[in-house]
Structure 1
Amino acid sequence: MIKFQFLILFTSMAAPIFNSCAGDEGTAEVIGKPDPTQIVYKMPEESEPHEGTWLQWPHQYQHGVTYRNELDETWVAMTKALQSTEKVHIIAYNTAEQTRITNLLKAANVSLTNVDFKIHRTDDVWVRDNGPIYVRDAQGKLVIEDWGFNGWGGKYDSANCDAIPSAIGADTGVTVLNLNNVMVNEGGSVELDGHGVLMATKSSIISQKARNSVRNKGMSQAQAESNFTKYLGATKFIWLEGGFSEEDVTDMHIDGIMKFAAGNKMITMSNSDLSGWGLIDSDIAILNAASNTKNEVYTKVILPLTQKNVVTKTGKALGYKGNYINFYIANGKVLVPNYNDPNDSVANKIIAGLYPGREVVGIDVRNLYANGGMVHCVTQQQPKQ
């Protein structure tokens, strides 16, 4: 990603951004009856017990010192929240960065007992998209899937981040399944309910529009579904058309739009907020009618947006609201994006009700959001073996 480009990644943008997709209305659809016998690997649901969480720490070597300094506080807060209940695996750019990060954590009184470091060059911080995807094989053994990462379709530098899954596999002794020649698939582009349903936007995976075609050029929906069945264990697919904008390099990742929760629930926004977020009417209708593998319609849980336009860049208001859907479920905790906004407490309370026994920890993501993402975008779970 280029230096100081705001909204460079994220899955949820200002209200006007995705309205260009309105002309596609009526084309979204729910398709897919894959053969369950083709399943080879299954991806554990995010709320299952973790061994740890992977973080790629911000550095100065690609986007500059100001970028790094603006984001450090968020990474310190995430590490502090996570380290008491699971390991925190920090990828530092070099040994100098490891020392700098260690000093930051010590200054914030963060225990280092459950914190470890791996030294690898990265292009940026978005480990959800470029990092290891952990799945289980037929014997229940954890395997890392390396789907290949090409900077959201060649939009940004990606060579360093693309190497991270294989590097982590080598570091930790976990088998790496190289899928680089199979498909490009960023972690934020798919949501699974843990029972066979996968939801995604076509725009971020299989769209053949010029802006996005270099992700999986020539790949059909049937081919994508076959891959997701074999490598993630999905047996039912719910596809939204999604959308494109110059500001959102992800081409509308699903993890800023909805998230599955236990009890056959789907966390999302109100219809009006979804529309403002850029979803076309047919996509909203699909969300409202979405059902599990037993064709039972998910119960929708509605999270608000922030009351205020919360994002600034170099002191200037950018004129859009914050989103709470992009939260991360950890051992005993849920890390929720917060914005110093009145609706922080509203969203935190709703999320707490969905995850009894877990502490909701608000993470101030205003600087991170101004640079393109929120909590889920910059975390990656390693399930417990």
Structure 2
Amino acid sequence: MSWRMPAETDPHERLWMAWPSGGYTLGGTDQDAHEARAAWAAVARAARRFEPVTMVVRPEDRGIAQAYLDPRVGLLEAPLDDAWMRDMGPSFVLDESAGARADGTARLGAVDWIFNGWGAQDWASWEHDAQIAGTVTSAAGAAHVPSSLVNEGGGFQVDGLGTVLLTETVQLDPGRNPGTTKAEVEAELERTIGARHAVWLPRGLTRDSERFGTRGHVDLVAAIPSPGTLLVHVQYNPEHPDHEVSGHILETLRASRTADGTPWDIIEVPAPAQLHDGEDWVDWSYLNHVALNGGLVACSFNDPHDEKALRILADAYRGRHVTAVDARVLFSRGGGIHCVTQQQPTARPRA
């Protein structure tokens, strides 16, 4: 097989999500649970305007999920620990080589990374979530592409042309892949998603690097809206520790190249103006959005920078209708819109 992970902006067959079921995601009160369910439902509703959406849901939660969700959202029952489909779900790929399928279309595959709760963190549980990639793969009718790499979909970004963005603190994390080298990670990514050129970032955002974070997911700091173009999260306020962090990331990306050797066209996207949420420095990011067929579902934060950031996204994803969803409830639980979604590409006819 010759697998390639398409760009997120390529046509989709559908979008996959998982329903919040318990623990910190639902929170400790009925109001907390309502806020979480309403937030996940809002993302699904916005996405369903542009393409089919399937929600994985625990059998015992089907009724309550149906009460919140657009009735056009499909449901797939399976046991769950958590609700971050980007990380526990498969990364879909295509085999576009001659003879991949007799009907002339590309063959759909799904990379099943090992998921261990973002580096076997003591607050996480993943007994059921570690099986979701296989469940989704089967339901999608995709070829199973197993991997020995502990990895999550939020831990990398691709341009569909051979470039992958990574952070050293995720794929090289001793809690994920102890003793693994960059060369070994890159070889596995070339085998599974067709990445032939890796751009390694030194780390992720401050809060995401602390106890309840992912230890540095790239989908908070960079996104690829089109070949050769990078959206980069920049914290301009020197009071926030991410001012220095995002500066280092920006320097790294300016010095990097795409797989074909060209420099990136870098577009800076300002962090929200709010610095703190009462518990810690925020890691709110407008880059944690999801591109859809003709649309983009983006994060808003009831923040003075929302309007400017959404204009930047609309220009970068020209031709797509931008829908903003308040993502504060999602981020208070550890992620954003990109984190709760996973796209399944369309297996198009081979060129």
Residue 291 (structure 1) aligned with residue 257 (structure 2):
yes
* Deviation (angstroms), 1:368: 1.1
How has the CA–CA distance of structure 1 residues 73 and 123 changed in structure 2, closer, same or farther, with 3 Å as cutoff?
Answer: same
Q: Which moved more, 1:349-358 or 1:56-65?
A: 56-65
Instruction: Give the 3-state SS of the residue equivalent to 2:125 in structure 1.
Output: coil
In structure 1, runs of 5+ residues without a counterpart are 1-38, 207-211
Q: TM-score, normalised by structure 2?
A: 0.87
Q: Which amino acid aligns with 2:282?
A: Y
Residue 364 (structure 1) aligned with residue 295 (structure 2):
no
Q: Deviations over 1:229-248 (max 9, x none)?
A: 11111111111221684335
How has the CA–CA distance of structure 1 residues 226 and 329 changed in structure 2, closer, same or farther, with 3 Å as cutoff?
Answer: same
* Deviation (angstroms), 1:293: 2.3
In structure 2, runs of 5+ residues without a counterpart are 101-105
* Deviation (angstroms), 1:281: 6.2
Q: Which amino acid aligns with 1:122?
A: L
Which residue in 1 is equivalent to 2:54? Answer: 89
* Candidates 25, 38, 41, aligned match of 1:73: 38
Moved runs in structure 1, 4+ residues, more than 6 A?
none
* Candidates 104, 112, 122, aligned match of 2:68: 104
Give me the whole-angstrom Cα distance separating, in 1, the residues matched to 2:167 and 2:327: 25
Which residue in 1 is equivalent to 2:103? Answer: none
Which residue in 1 is equivalent to 2:187? Answer: 226
Which residue in 2 is equivalent to 1:279? Answer: 245
Give me the whole-angstrom Cα distance separating, in 2, the residues matched to 1:242 and 1:84: 35
Matches within 5 A, 1:43-192: 43-60=5-22, 64=27, 66=29, 67-94=32-59, 96-105=60-69, 110=70, 112-113=71-72, 115-137=73-95, 138=97, 139=100, 140-155=106-121, 156-179=124-147, 182-192=148-158
* Deviation (angstroms), 1:153: 1.2
Q: Which amino acid aligns with 1:77?
A: A
Decide whether the 8 Å contact of 1:188 with 1:253 is kept in 2.
Answer: yes
* Deviation (angstroms), 1:152: 0.9
Give me the whole-angstrom Cα distance separating, in 2, the residues matched to 1:381 and 1:218: 31
Which residue in 1 is equivalent to 2:293? Answer: 331
Decide whether the 8 Å contact of 1:271 with 1:284 is kept in 2.
Answer: no
* Deviation (angstroms), 1:91: 0.7
Give me the whole-angstrom Cα distance separating, in 2, the residues matched to 1:338 and 1:284: 23
Query: Cα RMSD (Å) of the superposition?
Result: 2.3
* Deviation (angstroms), 1:65: 5.7
* Deviation (angstroms), 1:41: 1.0
How has the CA–CA distance of structure 1 residues 319 and 102 changed in structure 2, closer, same or farther, with 3 Å as cutoff?
Answer: same
Give me the whole-angstrom Cα distance separating, in 1, the residues matched to 2:264 and 2:91: 26
Q: Which moved more, 1:122-131 or 1:292-301?
A: 292-301
Give me the whole-angstrom Cα distance separating, in 2, the residues matched to 1:369 and 1:172: 29
Give me the whole-angstrom Cα distance separating, in 1, the residues matched to 2:313 and 2:247: 26
How has the CA–CA distance of structure 1 residues 117 and 258 changed in structure 2, closer, same or farther, with 3 Å as cutoff?
Answer: same
Which residue in 2 is equivalent to 1:254? Answer: 218
Give me the whole-angstrom Cα distance separating, in 1, the residues matched to 2:254 and 2:287: 16
* Deviation (angstroms), 1:145: 1.1
Decide whether the 8 Å contact of 2:22 with 2:81 is kept in 1.
Answer: no
How has the CA–CA distance of structure 1 residues 158 and 341 changed in structure 2, closer, same or farther, with 3 Å as cutoff?
Answer: same
Which residue in 2 is equivalent to 1:12? Answer: none
* Deviation (angstroms), 1:68: 2.9
Q: TM-score, normalised by structure 1?
A: 0.80
Give me the whole-angstrom Cα distance separating, in 1, the residues matched to 2:197 and 2:87: 22
Matches within 5 A, 1:200-211: 200-206=166-172
Q: Which amino acid aligns with 1:131?
A: G
* Candidates 312, 316, 327, aligned match of 1:354: 316
Q: Deviations over 1:118-144 (max 9, x none)?
A: 111111111111101110123320011
Which residue in 2 is equivalent to 1:32? Answer: none
Q: Deviations over 1:256-286 (max 9, x none)?
A: 1111121521100337569832638654421
* Deviation (angstroms), 1:318: 4.2
Give me the whole-angstrom Cα distance separating, in 1, the residues matched to 2:23 and 2:281: 29
* Deviation (angstroms), 1:308: 2.4
* Deviation (angstroms), 1:370: 1.0
How many pairs were matched up?
329
Which protein, 1 or 2, shows the higher relative CO under an 8 Å CA cutoff with sep ≥ 6? 1
Decide whether the 8 Å contact of 1:133 with 1:144 is kept in 2.
Answer: yes
Q: Which amino acid aligns with 1:218?
A: G
How has the CA–CA distance of structure 1 residues 345 and 64 changed in structure 2, closer, same or farther, with 3 Å as cutoff?
Answer: closer
* Deviation (angstroms), 1:149: 0.2
Give me the whole-angstrom Cα distance separating, in 2, the residues matched to 1:288 and 1:90: 38
Give me the whole-angstrom Cα distance separating, in 1, the residues matched to 2:212 and 2:68: 31
* Deviation (angstroms), 1:295: 2.1
Decide whether the 8 Å contact of 1:310 with 1:339 is kept in 2.
Answer: no
* Deviation (angstroms), 1:317: 5.8
* Candidates 189, 193, 196, aligned match of 1:235: 196
